[in-house]
Amino acid sequence: MSRPIIAIVGRPNVGKSTIFNRIIGDRLAIVEDKPGITRDRIYGTGEWNGRAFSIVDTGGIEIDGEDEIMKSVRMQAELAIEEADVIIFMVDAKTGLTHADDEVAQMLLRSRKPIVVAVNKVDNFSRQDDVYEFYSLGFGDPVPISGSHGIGIGDLLDAAVERLPELVEEHYDEDVIRVALIGRPNVGKSSLVNALLGEERVIVSDVAGTTRDAIDTPFERDGQKFVLIDTAGMRKRGKVYESTEKYSVMRALKAIERADVVLVLINGEEGIIEQDKHIAGYAHEAGKASIFVVNKWDTIEKDDKTMQHFEQNIRDHFLFMTYAPVVFLSAKTKSRLHKLLPVVCRVSEQHALRIQTHILNDIISDAIAINPPPTDKGRRLRINYVTQVAVKPPTIVLFANDPDMMHFSYERYLENKIRAAFDFAGTPIRIFTRKKS
Ligand code: GDP
Ligand code: GDP
């Protein structure tokens, strides 16, 4: 089941990133009194009233030239209208209603998307009157909030979550492997889709998916069914905002949510850039199986070490995803293309792998015997029982006397032992420590 997207739209400086950070609860993200500050995180996940969602801060799209602000706000709104399920339209009580706000409101009204108006910087109760003028925007009751004081965030989330669409179950059978291709513009996503389909027998093309605008493409090989998720997004061309990172991230987000296996495309010709990490990181956080696909391998001058060096380069850049296999290919010449689907099948299997409890306990006991758990003030962490509680991704719970004594490094050690015993190629593993003595 995919998580719906809530997008925050509004003029610069109304407080979008402040609210965004409050909602995802990421205290590390910094908001400074400086314009143009780089924002690392533009999406996150949250849960409210039992509904899980992704949230995207569409702010910070930078455009050169005149009328810059208006253009960038217009672009954010367009982006949110296209991709989001609910839009939080943020305005500023201190500056009041502006011409730019009105213009965005017109766009949003035409979109017929569910909109919540958040009036930020209502820092104390005596300023509640400041919200009245925002009724004229035409979206019903504005929600007064204060990002800096953390007031009204709950009310805002109530209003946003209430407007989320009903959950839609995926209609694909369990035995169909759902594959998403992600990567920045021009890495060769559509070329790879075409190359894959050109070789395979296409059962039905362009079957409408569960989401209104997603088009998926199913195909079959050697009796295994696959579906390429959201190939429509790859065909859509020519819009200015396609080249912006926020556009590709939102698009990728949705596809990732619906996939089992994520192909993270890297441009072999250009190498790895920061944007690749953002995109890959989401697949990791979403608990999906992943494969790095280095495309355009035909353009590379190669010797017998080139692949090894490139793979090392990937390992150095994606430290958090050492489990993901790397496949080198050319979508254009189709060289090495045949290597891809077997790896997709393998990681999909590992993603759904369930380990018997007694075997898992044996592995952990052996690991503990070799390298005992950490101690603190004479007390030792005792792990009494281990069990796998979920698949996709494999999720393991360690029952222990004092979960607070678990160290990241020891958890990592146990994960490595588990991986050494069972492969788990291509999939993240989640490990939780719970109290039980
Ligand atoms: P964005 O450009 O819309 O993402 O806005 P920011 O989140 O970067 O915030 C812009 C400025 O408004 C920063 O200086 C924030 O500290 C300030 N700010 C954010 N929320 C509030 C608030 O609730 N009250 C006041 N007084 N200032 C706020
Ligand atoms: P997308 O934006 O990620 O969907 O990328 P496209 O599939 O549209 O490809 C972008 C450009 O890269 C096009 O000009 C393709 O012909 C080219 N391209 C894609 N794959 C390869 C490849 O394997 N080798 C070479 N040399 N060019 C490729």
271 annotated as ligand-binding: no
For residue 382, pLDDT beyond 60: yes
In sequence order, the 6+-apart residues with CB closer than 8 A to the CB of 423 are 350, 353
Range name among 21-35, 108-122, 416-430 with the lowest pLDDT average: 21-35
13 is in an annotated binding site: yes
CB 307 within 8 A of CB 294: no
Give the closest residue (by CA) to ligand 1 atom 24: 121
Q: What is the predicted pLDDT for the residue at 103?
A: 87
275 exposure class (CB count in 10 Å sphere: 0-12, 13-18, 19+): middle
The residue-averaged pLDDT of 338-350 equals: 97
Residue type, 131: V
Show Cβ contacts of residue 386 under 8 Å, excluding neighbours closer than 6 positions: 357, 360, 361, 364, 396, 397, 398, 399
Residue by residue, what is the 3-state secondary structure of 179-195? EEEECCCCCCHHHHHHH
Give the nearest ligand 2 atom to 194 CA: 7
Q: Which atom of ligand 2 approaches the CA of 333 most closely?
A: 23
Answer yes or no: is pLDDT of 3 > 90: no
Q: Does any ligand 2 atom lie closer than 6 A to the CB of residue 296?
A: yes
Q: Which of 90-104, 169-183, 202-216 has the highest mean pLDDT?
A: 90-104
Q: Evaluate whether 307 touches 272 at the Cβ level (below 8 Å).
A: no
pLDDT digits (tens, 9 = 90+) for 254-270: 788 889 999 999 999 99
Q: Taking residues 79-108, report their average pLDDT.
A: 90
Report the separation in Å between the CA atom of 65 and the middle of ligand 2, taken as the mean of its atom positions.
30
Q: Choose the residue to mutate in 8, 13, 156 for probing ligand 1, maximizing ligand atoms within 8 Å of C-beta.
A: 13
C-beta 295 within 6 A of ligand 2: yes
Contact 105, 73 (CB under 8 A): no
pLDDT in tens, 277-305: 878 888 898 899 999 999 999 999 999 99
pLDDT in tens, 126-175: 777 788 999 999 999 999 999 999 899 999 999 999 999 887 666 788 89
Q: What is the mean pLDDT of residues 327-340?
A: 96
d(CA 194, CA 29): 40
Nearest CA to ligand 1 atom 14: 33
Give the pLDDT score at 248: 62
Tell the residue number behind the tokens 């759904």, with chain if given.
352
Beta strands (DSSP E) in 199-242 are 201-202, 207-208, 215-221, 224-228
Instruction: Report whether pLDDT(118) > 90.
Output: yes
Q: Which helix (H) or strand (E) holds 398?
A: strand 395-400
Q: Which residue has the higher pLDDT, 30 or 172?
A: 172
Average pLDDT value for residue range 43-70: 73
3 state DSSP class of 334: coil
The proportion of the chain whose per-residue pLDDT surpasses 90, expressed as a percent, equals 54
Task: Give tens-digit pLDDT for 190-216.
Answer: 889 889 988 544 433 444 333 334 578
Least reliable range by pLDDT among 118-132, 134-148, 381-395: 118-132
Sheet holding 383-390, edge to edge: 383-390, 395-400, 430-435
